[in-house]
Amino acid sequence: MLKRLGGWISNVDNIFASISLILIISVTVIGVFMRYVLGDPLKWTEEMTMALFVWFTFLGASVVTKEDGHVGIEYFVEKLNPVMRKIAFLFRQMVLISLNVYVFFYLGIQLTALATDKLTPILRISYIYIDVAVVLSGVFSTIHILSHMFNMSDKNKAESTLIEKDNEKQYAPQKEAKA
Protein backbone atom coordinates (compact mmCIF):
# COMPACT_ATOMS: atom_id res chain seq x y z
CA MET A 1 0.00 0.00 0.00
CA LEU A 2 2.82 2.42 0.87
CA LYS A 3 4.37 1.68 -2.52
CA ARG A 4 1.10 2.62 -4.27
CA LEU A 5 0.78 5.74 -2.09
CA GLY A 6 4.39 6.63 -2.93
CA GLY A 7 3.58 6.28 -6.65
CA TRP A 8 0.56 8.56 -6.30
CA ILE A 9 2.58 11.10 -4.33
CA SER A 10 5.34 10.82 -6.91
CA ASN A 11 2.93 11.88 -9.61
CA VAL A 12 1.51 14.74 -7.55
CA ASP A 13 4.84 16.40 -6.84
CA ASN A 14 5.99 15.84 -10.44
CA ILE A 15 2.82 17.44 -11.76
CA PHE A 16 2.93 20.45 -9.44
CA ALA A 17 6.66 21.01 -10.03
CA SER A 18 6.07 20.83 -13.80
CA ILE A 19 3.11 23.21 -13.63
CA SER A 20 5.20 25.61 -11.55
CA LEU A 21 8.01 25.56 -14.10
CA ILE A 22 5.61 26.07 -17.02
CA LEU A 23 3.99 29.00 -15.20
CA ILE A 24 7.38 30.53 -14.32
CA ILE A 25 8.37 30.49 -17.99
CA SER A 26 4.96 31.73 -19.17
CA VAL A 27 4.74 34.59 -16.68
CA THR A 28 8.34 35.62 -17.43
CA VAL A 29 7.74 35.62 -21.19
CA ILE A 30 4.52 37.62 -20.74
CA GLY A 31 6.33 40.09 -18.47
CA VAL A 32 9.19 40.57 -20.93
CA PHE A 33 6.76 40.96 -23.84
CA MET A 34 4.66 43.52 -21.97
CA ARG A 35 7.70 45.51 -20.82
CA TYR A 36 9.87 45.55 -23.93
CA VAL A 37 7.43 45.10 -26.82
CA LEU A 38 4.32 46.92 -25.62
CA GLY A 39 6.12 49.27 -23.23
CA ASP A 40 3.55 48.62 -20.48
CA PRO A 41 5.14 46.43 -17.77
CA LEU A 42 3.01 44.26 -15.54
CA LYS A 43 3.67 44.91 -11.87
CA TRP A 44 2.83 41.44 -10.59
CA THR A 45 5.10 39.22 -12.73
CA GLU A 46 8.15 39.33 -10.45
CA GLU A 47 6.06 38.54 -7.39
CA MET A 48 4.31 35.67 -9.13
CA THR A 49 7.52 34.14 -10.48
CA MET A 50 9.09 34.36 -7.01
CA ALA A 51 6.19 32.44 -5.46
CA LEU A 52 6.20 29.86 -8.26
CA PHE A 53 9.97 29.49 -7.97
CA VAL A 54 9.61 28.62 -4.27
CA TRP A 55 7.07 25.92 -5.14
CA PHE A 56 9.20 24.62 -8.02
CA THR A 57 12.34 24.47 -5.87
CA PHE A 58 10.83 22.59 -2.94
CA LEU A 59 8.67 20.22 -4.98
CA GLY A 60 11.65 19.66 -7.27
CA ALA A 61 13.67 18.65 -4.21
CA SER A 62 10.98 16.09 -3.43
CA VAL A 63 11.15 14.73 -6.98
CA VAL A 64 14.94 14.46 -6.72
CA THR A 65 14.51 12.56 -3.44
CA LYS A 66 12.18 10.14 -5.23
CA GLU A 67 14.75 9.64 -7.98
CA ASP A 68 17.49 9.27 -5.33
CA GLY A 69 19.36 11.99 -7.17
CA HIS A 70 20.76 14.01 -4.28
CA VAL A 71 24.50 14.27 -3.97
CA GLY A 72 26.14 11.26 -2.39
CA ILE A 73 29.52 9.60 -2.19
CA GLU A 74 28.91 6.17 -3.68
CA TYR A 75 32.58 5.27 -3.94
CA PHE A 76 32.96 4.41 -0.26
CA VAL A 77 29.60 2.67 0.02
CA GLU A 78 30.36 0.43 -2.97
CA LYS A 79 33.55 -0.73 -1.23
CA LEU A 80 31.53 -2.10 1.71
CA ASN A 81 30.30 -5.67 1.97
CA PRO A 82 26.55 -6.20 1.31
CA VAL A 83 25.57 -6.20 4.99
CA MET A 84 27.45 -2.97 5.71
CA ARG A 85 25.99 -1.46 2.53
CA LYS A 86 22.47 -2.14 3.84
CA ILE A 87 23.37 -0.66 7.21
CA ALA A 88 24.82 2.44 5.52
CA PHE A 89 21.69 2.73 3.37
CA LEU A 90 19.38 2.51 6.39
CA PHE A 91 21.53 4.97 8.34
CA ARG A 92 21.39 7.41 5.44
CA GLN A 93 17.62 7.06 5.18
CA MET A 94 17.17 7.63 8.92
CA VAL A 95 19.36 10.76 8.78
CA LEU A 96 17.31 12.05 5.83
CA ILE A 97 14.04 11.39 7.66
CA SER A 98 15.38 13.17 10.75
CA LEU A 99 16.41 16.18 8.68
CA ASN A 100 13.05 16.23 6.92
CA VAL A 101 11.15 16.12 10.19
CA TYR A 102 13.20 18.93 11.71
CA VAL A 103 13.82 21.22 8.75
CA PHE A 104 10.74 20.75 6.61
CA PHE A 105 8.09 19.84 9.19
CA TYR A 106 9.11 21.64 12.36
CA LEU A 107 10.82 24.71 10.89
CA GLY A 108 8.51 24.75 7.84
CA ILE A 109 5.44 24.83 10.04
CA GLN A 110 6.99 27.62 12.13
CA LEU A 111 7.80 29.56 8.95
CA THR A 112 4.25 29.11 7.68
CA ALA A 113 2.78 30.12 11.05
CA LEU A 114 4.86 33.31 11.04
CA ALA A 115 3.42 34.18 7.64
CA THR A 116 -0.20 34.46 8.79
CA ASP A 117 -0.19 38.26 8.70
CA LYS A 118 2.23 38.74 5.81
CA LEU A 119 0.89 39.61 2.35
CA THR A 120 2.78 40.05 -0.88
CA PRO A 121 2.97 43.76 -1.71
CA ILE A 122 1.30 43.78 -5.12
CA LEU A 123 -0.90 40.69 -5.39
CA ARG A 124 -1.84 40.75 -1.69
CA ILE A 125 -1.47 36.96 -1.45
CA SER A 126 -0.78 35.54 1.99
CA TYR A 127 2.73 34.16 2.36
CA ILE A 128 1.12 31.05 3.86
CA TYR A 129 0.35 29.92 0.31
CA ILE A 130 4.00 30.32 -0.62
CA ASP A 131 5.61 28.95 2.55
CA VAL A 132 3.43 25.83 2.75
CA ALA A 133 5.50 24.47 -0.15
CA VAL A 134 8.28 23.83 2.37
CA VAL A 135 6.04 21.63 4.51
CA LEU A 136 4.57 19.79 1.52
CA SER A 137 8.05 19.11 0.20
CA GLY A 138 8.93 17.54 3.54
CA VAL A 139 5.82 15.36 3.46
CA PHE A 140 6.49 14.18 -0.09
CA SER A 141 10.22 13.66 0.52
CA THR A 142 9.59 11.63 3.68
CA ILE A 143 7.10 9.42 1.83
CA HIS A 144 9.69 8.87 -0.92
CA ILE A 145 12.38 7.98 1.62
CA LEU A 146 10.06 5.52 3.37
CA SER A 147 9.16 4.06 -0.01
CA HIS A 148 12.89 3.54 -0.74
CA MET A 149 13.27 1.80 2.61
CA PHE A 150 10.29 -0.51 2.04
CA ASN A 151 11.41 -1.23 -1.53
CA MET A 152 14.76 -2.30 -0.11
CA SER A 153 12.92 -4.48 2.39
CA ASP A 154 10.87 -6.06 -0.42
CA LYS A 155 14.05 -6.56 -2.43
CA ASN A 156 15.72 -8.26 0.56
CA LYS A 157 12.68 -10.52 1.03
CA ALA A 158 12.78 -11.46 -2.65
CA GLU A 159 16.51 -12.17 -2.49
CA SER A 160 16.13 -14.31 0.64
CA THR A 161 13.23 -16.21 -0.98
CA LEU A 162 15.37 -16.94 -4.04
CA ILE A 163 18.22 -18.13 -1.83
CA GLU A 164 15.82 -20.42 0.08
CA LYS A 165 14.46 -21.85 -3.16
CA ASP A 166 17.99 -22.45 -4.44
CA ASN A 167 18.86 -24.19 -1.19
CA GLU A 168 15.74 -26.37 -1.44
CA LYS A 169 16.68 -27.38 -4.97
CA GLN A 170 20.22 -28.23 -3.92
CA TYR A 171 19.16 -30.36 -0.95
CA ALA A 172 15.99 -31.91 -2.42
CA PRO A 173 17.76 -34.48 -4.63
CA GLN A 174 20.01 -35.49 -1.74
CA LYS A 175 16.99 -36.14 0.50
CA GLU A 176 15.32 -38.26 -2.19
CA ALA A 177 18.51 -40.23 -2.80
CA LYS A 178 18.75 -41.12 0.90
CA ALA A 179 15.13 -42.23 1.08
DSSP one-letter string for 53-86: HHHHHHHHHHHHHHTT-S---HHHHHTS-HHHHH
* Residue 119, helix vs strand vs coil: strand
Q: How confident is the model at residue 149 (pLDDT cuts 50, 70, 90)?
A: confident
Specify the number of domains making up the chain.
Answer: 1
* pLDDT score recorded for residue 67: 85
How many other CB atoms are found less than 10 A from the CB of residue 85?
A: 13
- Domain with 157, as residue range(s), is 2-178
Integer CA distances (angstroms), 24 to 27, 45, 118, 127, in order: 5, 9, 22, 18
Span 104-125, pLDDT tens digits: 999 999 999 999 899 999 999 9
**What is the pLDDT averaged over residues 96-111?**
93
Integer CA distances (angstroms), 109 to 44, 60, 125, in order: 27, 19, 18
* pLDDT score recorded for residue 155: 59
